[in-house]
Amino acid sequence: MSVFGIDFGNLNSTVAITRYGGVDIVTNEVSKRETTTIVSFLDEERFIGEQGFDRYVRNAQNTIFLLKRFIGMRIDDPELEIERKFLTCNVKGDEEGRLMFSVNYCDEEKCFYPEQVLAMMLQRLRTYVNEAATTDPRVRADVRDFVITVPSYYTAEQRRLMYQASEVAGLHCMSLINETTASAVDYGIFRGTSLKETEEEGQVVGILDIGYGATDFSVCKFWRGNCKILARTFDRNNGTRDCDYCLYEHMVNEVKERYKVDVTENRRARLRLLQACERLKYLLSANQSAPLNVENLMDVDVNIASFDRATMESLCSGVLDRVRAVIERGFVEAGVTREHFHSIEMIGGGCRIPMLKRLVEDVLGRTPSFTLNASETTARGCAIVAAMLSPKFQVREFKISELPTYPILLGYHAENPRSPSAVPFLPDVNKVVRLLGAADSYPKKLDVRFPFRGAWKLYAFYDYENALVKEMVLPGRYVIGEWDFGAPAKARGSVQEMKVRIHVKPDGLLEVEKAEAIDVYEVEVEEPAAKSAEAPAAPATGEAPAETEKANEEAPKMVKKTKESSLPVSVKPNLDIIGHKSESIVGFRKAEADMHERDCRIVRTREKKNELESYILDFRPRISTGGMLADYTPADAAADFVRQCDADEQWLYEDGENASYDEYDKRVQALRAIGDAANHRLRSREDAEFASKTFRTRMAAAAKKAVDFVGKKEHVTEEELRAVAAKAEAACTWADSQLAAMHAAAKTAETPITAADFERKAVEMEQEVNKVLTKPAPPKPKEEKKEPETKAEEDAAAEAEDAAAEAEDAAAEAKEAAPANEETPAPRADVDLD
Ligand SMILES: *[C@@H]1O[C@H](CO)[C@@H](O)[C@H](O)[C@H]1NC(C)=O
Ligand SMILES: *[C@@H]1O[C@H](CO)[C@@H](O)[C@H](O)[C@H]1NC(C)=O
Ligand SMILES: *[C@@H]1O[C@H](CO)[C@@H](O)[C@H](O)[C@H]1NC(C)=O
Ligand SMILES: *[C@@H]1O[C@H](CO)[C@@H](O)[C@H](O)[C@H]1NC(C)=O
Ligand SMILES: *[C@@H]1O[C@H](CO)[C@@H](O)[C@H](O)[C@H]1NC(C)=O
Ligand SMILES: *[C@@H]1O[C@H](CO)[C@@H](O)[C@H](O)[C@H]1NC(C)=O
């Protein structure tokens, strides 16, 4: 029982899991708390996350990076030009102009939409979550419910694509959340009662997230259990990577001058220098100066011994200005002056860079705060929101009031509009109403009334005259919703109006919850003085009034009254208006499952191939003449084994290089049949040898114990003690003869005596001794017990013990089953947030 949250980043993604105990960051296969958002295709295999990053530079052309910037991108988007300087693989457009990455995979050119690549990444992150959620290794966890971050400026289409990517990965995305809002939740919920009680007294906190590719700033007001976003500003094209790029441009010239090499001509060299600049920036965050070294960069060793932080800062002044503008715009839009800020919390990779800290200090007039964990707060906030949305968890209440980025309009066709409006991209629309203004907070539900006109269409679209919409949304991508309404059932009176309930969901997407036609009709009712039982109680269905009328028939004094009832109207959303068509999603999902299966098969096959290789290397020298297992293998089998090894080895270099799992397995099995058997014979002889030594020691101890007991108890006679001691000593002779027989036997046959035989015999003898020692003191001395009896008792005791163990196992199982059952009556687990 867990849910999780993903902070989806341009560079790194971070995952947090919520379970009974609270919220934890999930680590990846190399125990890192952040995983690079990257997928690299090589031959027939996909390398995702950490493994993809390892192959990035070598395989740049087939590696997809910076995914977040491409979700929903069209090939004619001017943003693509900005992105080209970082882009390493090829892109192309599909017939609708959607961008696809083109890579070489399985020996041919394959194209993937960014959303498909995101699904690959999600699939990988999910394995980390399942690993973390697995408490009992026999039961694999399958956690599907999650919440993922999006930049606040993602459009409705991009948001829908995020859901579709989750679907392709076989996951259930409960909601999306804006990046900085997630950290606002992390900030507000843990402060609990230390926050003021009312909105008026609330504290204004800025959350500044300087990420790899973008900068986001939110001005939030916090009071107990609440967070209201007052303003949200961003620069989607300036983050820490632009600092790297400024350094890189400088270094390109430096390298050209000093070494006469143009790095820009070579993709791989370009990337290596860019990465070296990133490292340099990192070093300069701690030091005033640092070196830049890149070996063998297009045949030269670049070595710039000392580079100053001050130089970097002057090179990056353009980026600093952009970040400053984002913060200052936030101040203005929120209408909050810097004195009225409680603090500005810095998060994201940028908060480690001194010049950015100084910048914030300069704008705010105070040092910024770092109370949130810069790289993990967003994922944590996300996991908390996931728990809030899940019926399985009980989370302290926390309300978020969001601010829309893009104003939304509704448009339709009216019969005779008094003041018609024209929408350039919707020819049949002649009437427009405003659904959401820039200052409206939401989530909310609105009932909008329209004049009635039979079956009709309603459109929702971004306010194309809004400056931000013009800047951020491609023309042609404005429409975000389209609904077809049916005609209502027959009305009793006249229908002049329709009422449509529109839900602006917290994830920023729209939904029509229901639509009704307003039926206005007249009825005759008794004069109110008599009785008013038939008040306009149930306006629900159209049929109800018929009966009402009958009931009123005999009423003496009647008056006419106007009544309203709602007639349900069918609503059909056009789901294909944004995002991929649902058939495509089914196809993508199948393709993803196939690719996943192929990856697994490749890994399994590679492991089997390695097993064959190492078995040959280990066992051939052992079984060859003079090897430690040579004597333990029948001569013909040994010769056969060595021959097989030689053949397999040859085969591995030739036809067997890319063979199937089954072929490797068949060969491994054939070798093991000989090698493992010989090994087993050697081991069991060694074990028997060793066991015989232990046996001797135990027998000596048992004999001594018996002799030492002489005179301790009156009813235990010296005679019987010495007899049993002698018997124990005699057992050693038995052991010697057994060993001798083993040594005499052919080594190529199974050993006649095993360690288990010695163990059994030792236990038997020890029990015999103990029996004498613990003989109950009877009034008259008893005779020594006969062997068969002892044996029977022993067996009985062993049986009893087994039964006890079994019972214990059963109890343990019952206990484990219990938590699973608890889930059914839906107890809500408290998430510990303190
Ligand atoms: C995020 O921000 C956008 C734009 O400001 C808004 O429409 C949306 O409701 C917000 N919330 C979520 C969960 O995306
Ligand atoms: C950073 O500076 C410290 C001391 O000033 C020095 O010891 C260290 O070597 C420097 N590190 C690098 C990578 O230059
Ligand atoms: C970031 O800002 C700088 C300075 O204005 C600009 O030169 C650069 O192009 C921006 N980065 C991107 C990716 O647009
Ligand atoms: C991204 O993750 C890697 C480790 O996975 C880490 O070394 C690096 O610092 C992270 N980068 C940022 C900007 O957080
Ligand atoms: C965030 O928390 C993790 C784990 O406690 C820690 O390793 C990391 O250094 C923290 N990061 C920051 C920036 O405080
Ligand atoms: C096996 O695959 C590799 C890489 O695809 C290829 O270079 C090699 O020729 C193949 N070998 C055989 C025997 O098919």
Whole-number percent of the chain with pLDDT over 70: 89
**Does residue 821 line the site of ligand 6, with CB under 6 A?**
no
Give the residue, by CA position, lying nearest to ligand 2 atom 4. 287
Give yes or no for a contact between 189 and 183, defined as CB atoms under 8 angstroms apart.
Answer: no
**Does residue 337 line the site of ligand 2, with CB under 6 A?**
no
Ligand minimally distant from the alpha carbon of residue 438:
1
Give the residue, by CA position, lying nearest to ligand 3 atom 7. 318
Residue entry with tokens 């307003």: 518
Q: CA–CA separation, 102 vs 79, rounded Å?
A: 18
Give the residue, by CA position, lying nearest to ligand 4 atom 4. 34
Residue entry with tokens 């989806």: 8
Nearest to 731 by CA among 771, 686, 701: 701
CATH no. of 408-526+559-580? 2.60.34.10
User: What pLDDT shows up at residue 74?
Assistant: 95
Give yes or no for a contact between 417 and 193, defined as CB atoms under 8 angstroms apart.
Answer: no
User: What pLDDT shows up at residue 530?
Assistant: 47
Q: How far is ligand 1, taken at its centre, from the CA of residue 510, in Å?
A: 11
Confidence of residue 783 (pLDDT cuts 50, 70, 90): low
Give the residue, by CA position, lying nearest to ligand 2 atom 7. 287
Indicate the average pLDDT of the chain: 87
Give the residue, by CA position, lying nearest to ligand 5 atom 9. 373
For residue 704, which amino acid is it?
K
CATH 3.90.1150.10 given to domain 584-773: no
374 has pLDDT over 60:
yes
Give the residue, by CA position, lying nearest to ligand 4 atom 1. 12
Give yes or no for a contact between 169 and 125, defined as CB atoms under 8 angstroms apart.
Answer: no
Average pLDDT over residues 776-792: 58
Confidence of residue 85 (pLDDT cuts 50, 70, 90): confident
Taking the alpha carbons of 584, 582, 507, 172 in that order, is the dihedral positive or negative? negative
> Domain locations in the chain?
3-196+374-395, 408-526+559-580, 584-773
Ligand minimally distant from the alpha carbon of residue 107:
6
421 has pLDDT over 60:
yes
Average pLDDT over residues 290-307: 92
**Complete edge-to-edge strand list for the sheet that includes strand 99-105:** 90-93, 99-105, 108-112
- Within 6 A (CB) of ligand 3 lie 82, 237-238, 242, 318-319, 322
Degrees to nearest 5, angle at CA 822 with 391 and 170: 55
* Higher-confidence position of 49 and 538: 49
Q: How far is ligand 6, taken at its centre, from the CA of residue 653, in Å?
A: 10
Q: CA–CA separation, 274 vs 57, rounded Å?
A: 11
Confidence of residue 422 (pLDDT cuts 50, 70, 90): confident
Give the residue, by CA position, lying nearest to ligand 5 atom 6. 373
Q: How far is ligand 6, taken at its centre, from the CA of residue 659, in Å?
A: 10
Number of Cβ within 10 Å of residue 24's Cβ equals 17
Ligand minimally distant from the alpha carbon of residue 348:
4
User: What pLDDT shows up at residue 435?
Assistant: 83
Give yes or no for a contact between 727 and 768, defined as CB atoms under 8 angstroms apart.
Answer: yes
What ranges in 514-575 are assigned the alpha helix state H?
A: 544-551
Confidence of residue 101 (pLDDT cuts 50, 70, 90): very high
What is the SS3 assignment for 636? Answer: helix
Q: What are the backbone angles phi and psi of residue 600, rounded to the nearest 5°? A: -65, -40
Q: Which two tokens stand for residue 124?
A: 């990988």
Task: Among 651, 652, 657, 664, say which to mutate for ligand 6: greatest number of ligand atoms within 8 Å of CB.
Answer: 657
User: What pLDDT shows up at residue 815?
Assistant: 36
Note the pTM of the prediction, 2 decimals: 0.80
User: What pLDDT shows up at residue 784?
Assistant: 54
What are 665-713's pLDDT values in tens digits?
A: 999 999 999 999 999 999 999 999 999 999 999 999 999 999 998 888 8
Q: How far is ligand 2, taken at its centre, from the CA of residue 356, in Å?
A: 21
Instruction: State the greatest distance between any 2 C-alpha atoms of the chain, in Å, as a whole number.
Output: 125
What are 460-473's pLDDT values in tens digits?
A: 999 999 999 999 99
**Does residue 373 line the site of ligand 5, with CB under 6 A?**
yes
**Does residue 290 line the site of ligand 2, with CB under 6 A?**
yes
Residues 3-196+374-395, CATH architecture: 2-Layer Sandwich (3.30)
**Does residue 287 line the site of ligand 2, with CB under 6 A?**
yes
Q: What are the backbone angles phi and psi of residue 98, rounded to the nearest 5°? A: -70, 140
786 has pLDDT over 60:
no
Q: CA–CA separation, 605 vs 663, rounded Å?
A: 9
Give the residue, by CA position, lying nearest to ligand 2 atom 10. 287
